[in-house]
Amino acid sequence: MADIVASPNDSRYVPFTQQSSCCSPTCIQMIMYKNGIPLLPAEELGYHLGLVVPPEKAHLFYKVRTSPTPPTAGYGTQTYTPEFETNKIFKKLNIPLVYKLKPISEIQSPEELVKILQEIEDKNSDGLLCFNHGALVDDPARDWGHLCVFDRVVDGQLRIIDPSHEYPKWRLISAEKMFKAMQIHGTRKTAAGIWHFTKK
């Protein structure tokens, strides 16, 4: 009898599940784990990256900033601001990763998006995809930014790992849909596009 395969046997990551508004630190945890970097709690990493949640979610955290109105990119981290810039925080926390943004404004087409991500996969480096959540899942009520881990290009589609407990951990998304969701989020002048990470 063949072994039952309950998850992709060629995935580059072990999925983690996020706390509310913690997609960014949870995705970074997945990258840290893959690269053998000692983990920090997602809440701790998130706090240093400027995590903000609505007041009614504060009870879910040990210590967290709250605001009755969402920041520019929505509730979550504020890595697009100088105070909480990712490389600055990595240095502060002794995390041996280097972050570089490839903004959606510099990616000309879905085909170019696939090409860049294929290069990331080929080098076994790491990329997060930052996009408008509602545009990707066809739910206008989810009009905020979200991050997923890029896993692999599979038959021209992007296999992503979603930290949210509401969606499958692995799923295939067309490059066209991801490109459009990035463009929509990019209109807010935040970190939409590819977050590329390399280990020092």
What is the rounded distance in angstroms from the CA atom of residue 5 to the CA atom of residue 9? 7
pLDDT band at 97 (very low <50, low <70, confident <90, very high): very high
Asked if residue 1 belongs to a domain, the reply is no
Asked if residue 28 belongs to a domain, the reply is yes
Residue closest to 35 by CA, chosen among 123, 160, 154: 123
pLDDT at 189 over 70: no
| CATH number of the domain where residue 63 is located | 3.90.70.10
The values of phi and psi at residue 33, to 5°, are -60, -45
Q: Are 145 and 132 in contact (CB under 8 A)?
A: yes
- Give per-residue pLDDT as tens, 145-175: 899 999 999 999 999 999 999 999 999 999 9
Asked if residue 137 belongs to a domain, the reply is yes
The values of phi and psi at residue 131, to 5°, are -155, 170
Asked if residue 3 belongs to a domain, the reply is no
Asked if residue 164 belongs to a domain, the reply is yes
- Selected residue with higher pLDDT from 93 and 143: 93
Asked if residue 6 belongs to a domain, the reply is no
Asked if residue 18 belongs to a domain, the reply is no
Residues of the domain holding 194: 23-199
pLDDT band at 1 (very low <50, low <70, confident <90, very high): very low
Predicted TM-score (pTM) of this structure? 0.94
Count of structural domains within the chain: 1
Q: Which helix (H) or strand (E) holds 77?
A: none
Asked if residue 147 belongs to a domain, the reply is yes
Task: Please state, as a whole number, how many other Cβ atoms lie within 10 Å of the Cβ of residue 38.
Answer: 9
Name 119's Cβ contacts closer than 8 Å, sequence gap at least 6: none
